[in-house]
């Protein structure tokens, strides 16, 4: 145990938690927009996978990580709009259509990878950025301010999302549409337009999350996300549909994972317990967040399609 | 209007399913390669492979595909069909049964998790030869061969080199779940390290997943923070760990396939499986009318295990000598890997 | 010189499959007037207003605003033309603040950012001018029903609506809240705004309207003014024949208490104490009316009497026998009949036929069973008698109940429940959502039961009904009966105050 209390290990654990949280955070921030407006998109993981492949392939060919991230944005946007068509215009049952999008993304990303790349080849990752000044703070600086650029981008998304949801008319429309679409409609707020926008934002951020994952790992593989998109959807529920809650959930999940890895590495968790310990992050995160989330109510119109006068 | 909308939904759903199914072929891709385009297929030997991950995963699945391809090159007139990406055991079972019904001469179930299914399927097709690995058990069935790799032998050699190369005297292992081939390799590696340098610490981290690349990557980070400077790992998710090793300048030892292409500067060597060694024997058996009942092992002695060095890495001659001596010792029995 | 109407709807036609919902309807509104649309459910009021507000499109006809043709395809068009609508169910977002609800759908003074401080300031101005006290920062779910209604008005005022549609705005208000609302509405017409008032509460219509248009079966049945109309004349126009709004009640000798409740406490499904140590007695030959705003424990009281909800404390006696927490069938066998307010959920089985529904309770009675088998002939004649006697309009006895209108389903339930000559009858909202003709009929049958010495407990939110039928009126508030009064010795206003929780002075009590 004393090994764990060394500064190096502590710093490494927190830094690892932050890295693990990034794709989850990006995807669940996006999903927060959709769910606040009443649309559940279970296809996040599929969009992440296609974003991941798109980003990976672009970097593989061009060597430009920002171009890769941009392709993640575009792939996510296209799939976000497709998700909106299914959920909003066609009013498909949201759980089912989301699973459809997931399977589509899982299959197509692997198919494209096999056809266009084949054997996993490494690509370059995002540049690291030591935040001037802040990164020199002892311990904290090393934990928090010496990360890939994408880490800062992801965490800046939290206050930005809060601002959009709470301080803009668009955000107010999102909250209204997710809670009482009839009332919003009666005041001339287009439920359809708001939901298209939020689901597209959700798709875009899922695409970014996937691209960020692949580029940060510097590799692509079949089912690279390993169901991270589903965890992201769950984090939105457990984060009580609030960006801060979602961030707390993503960090907690990342932290427990990082902690378990450190404990295993240092032999604090015996190897015979290894498999059980691997489940700890999911279990602890669910327990902790259920305790918090049970005090909040979900958007009243979540998963309910809207038809005027129905 | 309502009705029309429903039909649109149905149409969209069908489209999705079609694409997903096509993509699903990417998951569980079925490919057939024929040696001769000329239609000699009536006499050709037909081999089917069902495997869990992608056939070019630079790891477990690729090893058997490469092995069968080698056999095809040797014998000629061999047809190969592959269904890969069948993490789902039920999908694998369906594929195995399908190949048996199609009358393939040899159906390979490449994954210890397929054993239960094979035990049910094989008795239904007494005229078809099955091979199952990695495993030692033929279930007492006369049409099932078992095969495995003595990956502990390669692991041991890697361990000896790792101990010799580590300057911090800490080496790290990234494993999936502590079973089968992975356990064999990791245990052999640890034994090799300790035999070479008893004071060296071996940190072993089984992440609990064969597929979580991000977690494997963070496991490598954890090893780094515990001051490891040499890493190894097994199963397909290690690509994440290799990336971290590359970034942080740690050395890497690969297994199951040659992983040099993942990080040409830091991969020292890879243990490579040459399944063709025992496939050759299995085919000889089948030609002679024996469809199973025997278990095979690839090892250094029969040439099924090979250490492939990365020419781009400047391995000190004395370390290379130690590796060669160790292999010789394993072959002549003077070194045991346990 | 006659004023130009601010709204003219000319020759509006709207067809739904099998129904002509609007049949060449003409309707207009002058500046500064309240023009009421009156009609039974399904008469076409809502259709007409939905067309005006852009929620539905007319098949034929035109709409003129201030003499100019207007195209209204959606609520946004309507709002832009200065039309507002207050819906029967509040169109409010519970999780947003008052100010946010007002700002919703409007351009913000700060571009993409909300400008809630400015909105709040304007709300406070309007609130002061119209006497609509409200906290702009409050979240809507924290507001009382009356405050929510005020917020709806403020939303309309904020948008400077010239023409405001009010679709049954008083349905959930106490009489005092209705009075307040009417004061505000009059202020609005004084500003020159036009109001369209939709209601079926005749005394409210007479109190507020300048002009009244009555719709029947999608067509205009008549036009009148408040001065030129009475409740009876309006009801006659709505139904198309003479209607008796209050049944004749022959004198009946009041007997002993047939329903006695002592200290009854019931926990609601939501886990709160809905009925708290409640006492009451209903004697044979009387109709005991319970008035109150819904949600004050009336539903749980009725359910507990019927054995459908557990009494956690207290006792219930029917005809001298204790029935507390007996199973529903046992309670019925002691002489109780129960007409639930949840007509479709608890009153009938929609998939069952009319005759099956009529027989739901008595199916094991000797009268209908012969050597263990149903005696279909006896059943048929029994059902034919009931359907005839209670004027249930149904194509056949084998028609599924769900195909009947609300009024006929209610008559069916009443027919079944009264058939056994109950000793105690509990009826909840007997005529809610029922057309006037059916309501008249049901009222007459309840009075018949009273004449036959049944003890009747009637729960109703309709004060007209409570006054017309009750021998004694109890007001229920927060799970308790806070007063019992005789209809001749009280006023609507007094009952209204009690419904809002104001206890009467001791001198009047008891």
> What ipTM was estimated for this complex?
0.88
- pLDDT at res. B35: 40
Q: Please, are residues B65 and B273 in contact by the beta-carbon 8 Å criterion?
A: no
Q: Is residue C477 part of a domain?
A: yes
Is B208 in contact with A265 (Cβ distance < 8 A)?
no
Please indicate, yes or no, whether residues C271 and C214 belong to a single structural domain of this protein.
Answer: no
Min Cα–Cα distance to chain B from A168, Å: 34
Q: Does A116 touch chain B (CB under 8 A)?
A: no
- pLDDT at res. C364: 65
CA separation for the pair C287, C447 (Å, rounded) = 8
Helix segments in chain B, DSSP class H:
2-27, 60-75, 89-101, 115-121, 151-165, 180-196, 213-225, 239-248, 276-287, 317-332
Q: What is the pLDDT of residues C196-228, one digit of tens each?
A: 999 878 889 999 999 999 999 899 999 999 998
Confidence check: pLDDT of B14 > 80: no
Confidence check: pLDDT of C123 > 90: yes
Q: In terms of Cα–Cα distance, which of C214, C243, C216 is closest to C226?
A: C214
Q: What is the pLDDT of residues C498-507, one digit of tens each?
A: 988 888 764 4
Which CATH number covers residue C290? 3.40.50.300
Residue A300: list chain C partners with CB under 8 A: 94-95
Q: What is the pLDDT of residues A65-92, one digit of tens each?
A: 999 999 999 999 999 999 999 999 999 8
Please give the average per-residue pLDDT across C272-283, as a whole number: 93
Instruction: Identify the DSSP state of C108.
Output: P
Cα C123 from chain centre: 31
Please indicate, yes or no, whether residues C98 and C195 belong to a single structural domain of this protein.
Answer: yes
- pLDDT at res. A309: 66
Least confident of B54-58, B239-243, C324-328: B54-58
Please indicate, yes or no, whether residues B13 and B28 belong to a single structural domain of this protein.
Answer: no
Query: Which positions 231-260 of A are in contact with B (Cβ < 8 Å)?
Result: 257-258
Number of compact structural domains in chain B: 2
Is B85 in contact with A110 (Cβ distance < 8 A)?
yes
* Candidate ranges B188-192, C87-91, C418-422; pick with highest mean pLDDT: B188-192
Please indicate, yes or no, whether residues B178 and B31 belong to a single structural domain of this protein.
Answer: no
Q: Which residue has the higher pLDDT, C240 or A169?
A: A169
Q: What is the mean pLDDT of chain C?
A: 89
Please indicate, yes or no, whether residues B160 and B111 belong to a single structural domain of this protein.
Answer: no
Q: Is residue B338 part of a domain?
A: no
Query: Edge-to-edge strand order for the sheet containing B78-83?
Result: B30-33, B78-83, B45-50, B106-110, B129-133, B144-149, B295-298
Report residue B39's pLDDT band, with 50, 70 and 90 as the boundaries: very low
Confidence check: pLDDT of C432 > 90: no
Q: What is the mean pLDDT of chain B?
A: 86
Min Cα–Cα distance to chain B from A258, Å: 7
Q: Which domain holds residue B179?
A: 7-20+151-273+303-332
Query: Which positions 45-84 of C are in contact with A (Cβ < 8 Å)?
Result: 50, 53, 55-56, 74-76, 79-80
Please give the average per-residue pLDDT across A94-106, as a whole number: 92
Q: In terms of Cα–Cα distance, which of C95, C173, C106 is closest to C138?
A: C95
CA separation for the pair C84, C77 (Å, rounded) = 11
Report residue C356's pLDDT band, with 50, 70 and 90 as the boundaries: confident
Strands C472-477 and C287-291, by their bridges, are parallel
Is A125 in contact with B243 (Cβ distance < 8 A)?
yes
CA separation for the pair C264, C271 (Å, rounded) = 16
Number of compact structural domains in chain C: 2
CA separation for the pair A218, C434 (Å, rounded) = 70
Please indicate, yes or no, whether residues B168 and B269 belong to a single structural domain of this protein.
Answer: yes
Report residue C493's pLDDT band, with 50, 70 and 90 as the boundaries: confident
Element (H, E) at C71: none
Please indicate, yes or no, whether residues C221 and C269 belong to a single structural domain of this protein.
Answer: no
**Diameter of chain A by CA atoms?**
66
Can you read off the two tokens belonging to residue A260? 């378990």
Strands C455-459 and C424-428, by their bridges, are parallel
Can you read off the two tokens belonging to residue A54? 């798109």
Please indicate, yes or no, whether residues B292 and B146 belong to a single structural domain of this protein.
Answer: yes
Confidence check: pLDDT of B101 > 90: yes
DSSP per-residue codes, C253-270: ---SEEEEEEEEEEE-TT
Q: What is the pLDDT of residues C63-100, one digit of tens each?
A: 999 999 999 998 889 999 999 999 878 899 999 999 99
Report residue C2's pLDDT band, with 50, 70 and 90 as the boundaries: low
Which CATH number covers residue B123? 3.40.50.2300
Residue with tokens 């005991």: C288
Please indicate, yes or no, whether residues B64 and B164 belong to a single structural domain of this protein.
Answer: no
Q: Please, are residues B135 and B148 in contact by the beta-carbon 8 Å criterion?
A: yes
Cα C215 from chain centre: 19
Q: Is residue B2 part of a domain?
A: no
- pLDDT at res. B38: 39
Is A275 in contact with B218 (Cβ distance < 8 A)?
no
In percent, how much of chain B has pLDDT > 70? Answer: 87
Q: Is residue C272 part of a domain?
A: yes
Please indicate, yes or no, whether residues C202 and C81 belong to a single structural domain of this protein.
Answer: yes
Question: Which of C239, C274, C293 is where one domain is finished?
Answer: C239
Please indicate, yes or no, whether residues C327 and C232 belong to a single structural domain of this protein.
Answer: no
- pLDDT at res. C380: 86
Please indicate, yes or no, whether residues B207 and B265 belong to a single structural domain of this protein.
Answer: yes
Please indicate, yes or no, whether residues B135 and B259 belong to a single structural domain of this protein.
Answer: no
Confidence check: pLDDT of A269 > 90: no
Min Cα–Cα distance to chain B from A158, Å: 22
Q: Which chains touch C (3 or more CB pairs under 8 A)?
A: A
Q: What is the pLDDT of residues A9-64, one digit of tens each?
A: 888 899 999 999 999 999 999 999 999 999 999 999 999 999 999 999 999 999 99
Please indicate, yes or no, whether residues C200 and C263 belong to a single structural domain of this protein.
Answer: no
In percent, how much of chain A has pLDDT > 90? Answer: 65
Report residue B31's pLDDT band, with 50, 70 and 90 as the boundaries: low
Q: What is the pLDDT of residues A109-134, one digit of tens each?
A: 989 998 898 888 899 999 989 999 88
Please count the residues of chain A.
310
Where are the strands (E) in C73-182, listed by range?
Answer: 83-86, 163-167
Is C50 in contact with A309 (Cβ distance < 8 A)?
yes
Please give the average per-residue pLDDT across C478-489, as a whole number: 92
Q: In terms of Cα–Cα distance, which of C142, C49, B2 is closest to A186?
A: C49
Can you read off the two tokens belonging to residue A210? 């996937």
Can you read off the two tokens belonging to residue B63? 């090893």
Please give the average per-residue pLDDT across A140-157, as a whole number: 92
Residues 6+ apart with CB under 8 A from B257: B57, B58, B59, B62, B63, B66, B270, B272, B273
Please indicate, yes or no, whether residues C390 and C451 belong to a single structural domain of this protein.
Answer: yes
* Side-chain-facing half-sphere of B268: CA atoms under 13 Å: 27
Number of cross-chain residue pairs from A and B with Cβ atoms under 8 Å apart: 186
- pLDDT at res. C505: 66
Q: Does A187 touch chain C (CB under 8 A)?
A: yes
Is C93 in contact with A176 (Cβ distance < 8 A)?
yes
Q: Please, are residues A89 and A192 in contact by the beta-carbon 8 Å criterion?
A: yes
CA separation for the pair B253, B266 (Å, rounded) = 9
Q: What is the pLDDT of residues A221-253, one digit of tens each?
A: 888 999 999 999 999 988 889 999 999 999 999
Nearest to C87 among A168, A170, A186 (CB): A186
Q: Is residue B1 part of a domain?
A: no
Nearest to B214 among A11, A15, A20 (CB): A20
Please indicate, yes or no, whether residues B322 and B181 belong to a single structural domain of this protein.
Answer: yes
Q: What is the pLDDT of residues B237-276, one digit of tens each?
A: 899 999 999 999 999 999 988 899 999 999 999 999 999 9
Instruction: Identify the DSSP state of C343.
Output: I
Query: Which positions 40-99 of A are in contact with B (Cβ < 8 Å)?
Result: 85-86, 90-92, 96-97
Please indicate, yes or no, whether residues B157 and B119 belong to a single structural domain of this protein.
Answer: no
Q: In terms of Cα–Cα distance, which of C268, C266, C288, C292 is closest to C277?
A: C266
Q: Which domain holds residue C453?
A: 257-499
Report the phi/psi class of residue A136: left, alpha or beta, with left for phi > 0 and alpha for psi in -120 to 50: alpha
Residue C80: list chain A partners with CB under 8 A: 188
Q: Does B171 touch chain A (CB under 8 A)?
A: no
Q: Which residue has the higher pLDDT, C455 or C396?
A: C455
Please indicate, yes or no, whether residues C395 and C296 belong to a single structural domain of this protein.
Answer: yes
Confidence check: pLDDT of B13 > 70: no
Where are the strands (E) in C300-339, listed by range?
Answer: 311-318, 321-322, 336-339
Residue A279: list chain B partners with CB under 8 A: 208
Q: Is residue C504 part of a domain?
A: no
Please indicate, yes or no, whether residues B195 and B321 belong to a single structural domain of this protein.
Answer: yes
Q: Does B174 touch chain A (CB under 8 A)?
A: no
Confidence check: pLDDT of B28 > 80: no
Q: Is residue B337 part of a domain?
A: no
CA separation for the pair B223, B245 (Å, rounded) = 10
- pLDDT at res. C372: 75
**Residue B45, beta-bridge partner list:** B78
CA separation for the pair B283, B73 (Å, rounded) = 14
- pLDDT at res. B328: 95
Min Cα–Cα distance to chain A from C221, Å: 26
Q: Is residue B170 part of a domain?
A: yes
Please indicate, yes or no, whether residues B252 and B262 belong to a single structural domain of this protein.
Answer: yes
Is C92 in contact with A180 (Cβ distance < 8 A)?
yes
Neighbours of B202 (CB within 10 A): 23
Instruction: Identify the DSSP state of A86.
Output: I
Q: What is the pLDDT of residues B157-177, one digit of tens each?
A: 999 999 999 999 999 999 998
Structural domain spans, chain A? 22-226
- pLDDT at res. C126: 93
C459 three-class SS = strand
Q: Please, are residues B99 and B50 in contact by the beta-carbon 8 Å criterion?
A: yes
Confidence check: pLDDT of C26 > 90: yes
Confidence check: pLDDT of A186 > 70: yes
Q: Calculate helix-pair angle for A243-265, A228-238, nearest 10 degrees.
A: 130
Neighbours of C146 (CB within 10 A): 17
Q: Please, are residues A274 and A264 in contact by the beta-carbon 8 Å criterion?
A: yes
Please give the average per-residue pLDDT across C237-252, as a whole number: 86
- pLDDT at res. C203: 86
In A, minimum Cα distance to C96 occurs at A176
Nearest to A189 among C50, C104, C108 (CB): C104
Confidence check: pLDDT of C448 > 80: yes
CA separation for the pair A263, C93 (Å, rounded) = 48
Q: Please, are residues C352 and C417 in contact by the beta-carbon 8 Å criterion?
A: no
Q: Is residue B238 part of a domain?
A: yes
Q: Is residue C311 part of a domain?
A: yes
Residue with tokens 């099924």: B304
Please give the average per-residue pLDDT across B130-148, as a whole number: 91
CA separation for the pair B166, B158 (Å, rounded) = 12
CA separation for the pair A226, A213 (Å, rounded) = 11
């Amino acid at each position: 145990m004393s090994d764990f209390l060394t500064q190096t290990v502590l710093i490494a654990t927190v830094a690892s938690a932050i890295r693990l949280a990034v794709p989850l955070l990006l995807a669940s921030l996006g999903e927060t927009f959709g769910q606040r407006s009443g649309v559940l998109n279970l296809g996040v993981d599929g969009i992440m996978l296609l974003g991941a492949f798109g980003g990976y392939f672009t970097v593989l060919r061009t060597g430009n990580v920002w171009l890769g991230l941009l392709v993640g944005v575009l792939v996510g946007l296209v799939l976000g709009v497709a998700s909106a068509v299914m959920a909003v215009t066609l009013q498909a049952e949201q759980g089912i259509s989301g699973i459809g999008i997931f399977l589509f993304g899982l299959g197509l990303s692997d198919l494209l990878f096999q056809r266009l790349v084949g054997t996993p080849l490494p690509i370059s990752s995002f540049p690291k950025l030591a935040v001037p000044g802040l990164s020199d703070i002892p311990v904290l600086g090393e934990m928090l301010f010496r990360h890939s650029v994408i880490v800062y981008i992801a965490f800046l998304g939290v206050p930005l999302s809060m601002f959009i949801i709470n301080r803009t008319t668009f955000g107010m429309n999102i909250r209204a549409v997710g809670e009482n679409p009839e009332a919003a409609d009666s005041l001339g707020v287009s439920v359809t337009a708001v939901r298209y926008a939020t689901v597209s934002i959700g798709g875009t951020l899922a695409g970014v999350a996937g691209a960020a994952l692949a580029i940060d790992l510097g590799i692509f593989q079949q089912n690279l996300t390993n169901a991270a998109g589903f965890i992201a959807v769950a984090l939105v529920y457990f984060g009580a549909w609030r960006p801060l809650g979602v961030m707390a959930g993503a960090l907690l999940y990342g932290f427990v994972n990082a902690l378990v890895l450190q404990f295993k590495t240092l032999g604090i968790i015996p190897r015979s317990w290894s498999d059980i310990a691997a489940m700890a992050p999911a279990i602890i995160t669910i327990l902790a967040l259920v305790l918090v989330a049970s005090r909040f109510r979900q958007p009243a119109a979540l998963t309910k399609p809207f038809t005027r006068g129905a | 209007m309502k009705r029309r909308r429903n039909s649109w939904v149905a149409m969209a759903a069908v489209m999705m399913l079609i694409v997903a199914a096509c993509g699903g072929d990417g998951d569980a891709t079925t490919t057939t390669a024929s040696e001769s385009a000329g239609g000699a297929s009536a006499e050709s030997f037909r081999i089917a492979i069902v495997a869990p991950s992608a056939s070019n995963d630079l790891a477990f699945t690729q090893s058997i595909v490469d092995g069968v391809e080698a056999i095809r090159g040797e014998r000629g007139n061999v047809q190969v069909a592959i269904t890969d990406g069948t993490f789902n055991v039920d999908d694998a079972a369906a594929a195995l049964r399908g190949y048996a019904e199609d009358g393939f001469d040899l159906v390979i179930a490449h994954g210890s998790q397929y054993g239960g299914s094979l035990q049910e399927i094989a008795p239904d097709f007494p005229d078809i030869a099955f091979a199952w690995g990695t495993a030692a058990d033929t279930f007492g069935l006369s049409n099932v061969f078992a095969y495995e790799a003595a990956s502990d032998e390669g692991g041991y050699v890697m361990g000896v080199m790792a101990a010799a190369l580590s300057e911090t005297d800490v080496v790290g292992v990234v494993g999936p779940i502590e079973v089968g081939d992975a356990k064999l390799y990791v245990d052999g590696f640890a034994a090799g390290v300790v035999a070479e340098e008893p004071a060296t610490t071996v940190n072993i981290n089984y992440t609990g997943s064969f597929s979580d690349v991000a977690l494997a990557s963070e496991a490598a980070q954890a090893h780094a923070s515990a001051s490891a400077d040499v890493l190894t790992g097994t199963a397909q998710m290690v690509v994440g760990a290799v990336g971290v090793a590359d970034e942080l300048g740690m050395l890497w030892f690969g297994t199951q396939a040659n992983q040099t292409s993942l990080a040409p500067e830091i991969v020292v060597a890879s243990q490579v499986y040459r399944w063709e060694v025992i496939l050759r024997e299995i085919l000889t058996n089948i030609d002679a009318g024996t469809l199973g009942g025997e278990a095979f092992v690839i090892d250094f002695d029969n040439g099924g295990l090979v250490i492939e060095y990365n020419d781009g890495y400047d391995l000190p001659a004395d370390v290379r000598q130690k590796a060669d001596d160790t292999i010789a010792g394993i072959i002549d029995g003077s070194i045991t890997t346990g | 010189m006659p004023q130009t109407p601010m709204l003219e709807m000319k020759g509006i036609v709207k067809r739904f499959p099998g129904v002509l919902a609007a049949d060449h309807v003409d309707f207009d509104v002058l500046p500064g007037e309240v023009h009421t649309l009156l009609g039974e459910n399904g008469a076409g009021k809502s259709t007409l207003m939905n067309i005006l507000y852009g929620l539905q499109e007319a098949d034929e006809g035109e709409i003129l605003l201030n003499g100019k043709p207007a195209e209204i395809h959606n609520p946004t068009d309507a709002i832009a033309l200065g039309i507002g609508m207050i819906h029967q169910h509040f169109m409010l977002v519970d999780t947003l603040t008052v100010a946010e609800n007002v700002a919703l759908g409007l351009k913000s003074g700060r571009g993409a950012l909300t400008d809630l401080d400015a909105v709040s300031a304007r709300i406070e101005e309007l609130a002061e001018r119209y006497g609509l006290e409200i906290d702009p920062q409050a979240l809507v779910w924290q507001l009382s029903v009356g405050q929510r209604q005020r917020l709806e008005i403020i939303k309309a005022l904020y948008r400077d609506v010239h023409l405001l549609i009010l679709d049954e705005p008083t349905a959930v208000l106490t009489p005092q809240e209705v009075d307040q609302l009417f004061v505000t509405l009059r202020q609005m017409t004084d500003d020159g705004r036009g109001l369209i008032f939709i209601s079926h509460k005749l005394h409210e219509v007479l109190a507020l309207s300048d002009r009244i248009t009555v719709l029947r079966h999608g067509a205009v049945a008549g036009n009148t003014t408040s001065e030129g109309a009475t409740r009876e004349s309006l009801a006659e126009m709505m139904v198309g024949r003479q209607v008796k709004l209050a049944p004749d009640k022959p004198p009946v000798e009041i007997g002993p208490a047939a329903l006695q409740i002592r200290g009854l406490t019931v926990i609601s499904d939501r886990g709160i104490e809905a009925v708290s140590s409640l006492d009451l007695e209903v004697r044979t030959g009387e109709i005991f009316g319970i008035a109150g705003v819904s949600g004050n424990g009336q539903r749980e009281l009725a359910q507990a009497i019927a054995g459908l909800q557990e009494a956690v404390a207290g006792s219930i006696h029917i005809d001298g026998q204790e029935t507390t927490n007996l199973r529903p069938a046992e309670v019925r066998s002691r002489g109780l009949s129960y007409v639930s307010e949840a007509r479709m959920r608890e009153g009938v089985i929609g998939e069952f036929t009319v005759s099956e529904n009529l027989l739901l309770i008595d199916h094991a009675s000797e009268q209908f069973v012969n050597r263990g088998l149903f005696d279909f002939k006896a059943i048929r004649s029994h059902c034919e008698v009931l359907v005839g006697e209670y004027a249930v309009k149904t194509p056949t006895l084998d028609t599924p109940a769900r195909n009947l209108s609300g009024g006929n389903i209610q008559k069916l339930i009443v027919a079944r429940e009264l058939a056994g000559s109950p000793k105690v009858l509990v009826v909840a909202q007997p005529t809610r959502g029922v057309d006037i003709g059916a309501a008249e009929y049901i009222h007459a049958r309840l009075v018949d039961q009273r004449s036959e010495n049944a003890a009747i407990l009637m729960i109703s939110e309709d004060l007209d009904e409570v006054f017309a039928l009750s021998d004694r009126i109890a007001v229920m508030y927060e799970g308790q009966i806070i007063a019992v009064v005789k209809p001749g010795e009280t006023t609507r206003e007094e009952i209204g105050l009690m419904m809002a929780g104001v206890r009467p002075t001791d001198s009047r009590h008891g």
